[in-house]
Structure 1
């Protein structure tokens, strides 16, 4: 644990604070997507997601700017960059899901999307929890458990995705298939990126404890 404390005591607190803000922004964006799915005709709710995505981009730029002027070992820098990039990806994919729902003129939530997006929102909350604990990690096993929770959620999303695709291909409407397959894939990919964050966090926990 001593090595972990010395790492945090240097000057990464600002980076970890912004990283925490970015993870919170992912939660906020996923919850905004749940709200939009329940009111697909509401342009304001769609635009809220776009605004949150821009705010997430700003946090990501801040993290990279801080990393560029802060001396930490290349591996530590790489860990932080990976976490920031993957959380930014999650937010970008959520924005992309909303954009697709809008562009494809989807008026009612397609089958499976509500369950998939609710699971995705749970995954962003797991990510936010893990990132918030990086500054003061008192219970490494708790962190590992939350990493595993994220993987369990991703497996649920995968199962829903497979069921959604199987049902989708019972349709004979090629355009309908293309649109919904694109939406389902975006949700599934966003969930995968949450697991990517969990994998980096688990590596950090094992390395510094």
Structure 2
């Protein structure tokens, strides 16, 4: 068994707990986006995504605050900051999807967005799994497999993005192109941020095992 610092104190464990809670918010946000795809005009669903983003911002600030107060951290301070920042980015882009649905007055989910949202939900669950195991990595190889899973999901979303853009540019409606291209790009970028988290986690696993 490979264990990260068995001597971690309670306040250091609290850092990992806050990080885990932030990862859970990413899952909540992706699930809320997926629900929005079936009911894109629902203002309550859009508001819910925004609420999750606000809660995530509080957790991110808490992590940085605790890192500044804690002398000995369970993992490298910079690594923890990077993980927190990238998860916060994921949630920001999820909120951006909802905001764009609202501002562009989307009444029907654009082609391929539900599939992209389904894949984003899978990606955030990979993030949640990886972050939840950071305090005690029993199987480094399995952890790295989950990191790579995130990249596989990102490739699926990239393929959907390229297909969506290709079909979109067959349209002669420039306003539609501008709106939907922005939505597609926001969803694709959210998946990139999931991979960013996986890359940092893989670096941590390789560093400490």
Q: What TM-score do the two structures reach when normalised by structure 2? A: 0.95
1:141 pairs with 2:148: no
Distance 2:76 2:95 in 1: 29
* 1:7 Cα offset (Å): 7.2
Q: 1:135-164, CA deviations, whole angstroms, 9 ceiling, x for partnerless residues?
A: 111111110010000000000000110111
The CA RMSD measured in Å over matched residues stands at 1.5
Q: Which residue of 1 aligns with 2:26?
A: 26
Match of 1:41, SS state, is coil
Q: Secondary structure at the match of 1:199?
A: helix
Find the counterpart in structure 2 of residue 92 from structure 1. Answer: 92
In the TM superposition, residue 121 of structure 1 has moved relative to its aligned partner by 0.9
Gapped runs of 5+ residues in structure 1? none
State the secondary structure of the residue aligned to 2:137.
coil
Which residue matches 2:122? Answer: 122
Could you tell me which residue of structure 1 aligns to residue 77 of structure 2? Answer: 77
Tell me how far apart the structure 2 counterparts of residues 8 and 85 of structure 1 sit (CA, whole Å).
Answer: 26
1:163 & 1:14 partners in 2: Cα distance?
43
Q: Deviations over 1:37-96 (max 9, x none)?
A: 1111211111111111000001000000000011247x8111000000000000000000
Task: For structure 2, list consecutive stretches of 5 or more residues without a partner in the other structure.
Answer: none
Query: How far apart, in 2, do the equivalents of 1:183 and 1:40 lie?
Result: 13
Listed as ranges, the matches of 1:1-209 within 5 Å are 5-6=4-5, 9-10=8-9, 11-72=11-72, 76-209=76-209
Could you tell me how far apart the structure 1 residues matched to 2:165 and 2:37 are?
Answer: 19
SS at match of 2:35: helix
Structure 1 residues 163, 136: closer, same or farther in 2, change over 3 A?
same
Tell me: CA distance 1:107–1:83, structure 2 relative to 1, closer, same or farther (3 Å): same
Secondary structure at 1:111 match in 2: coil
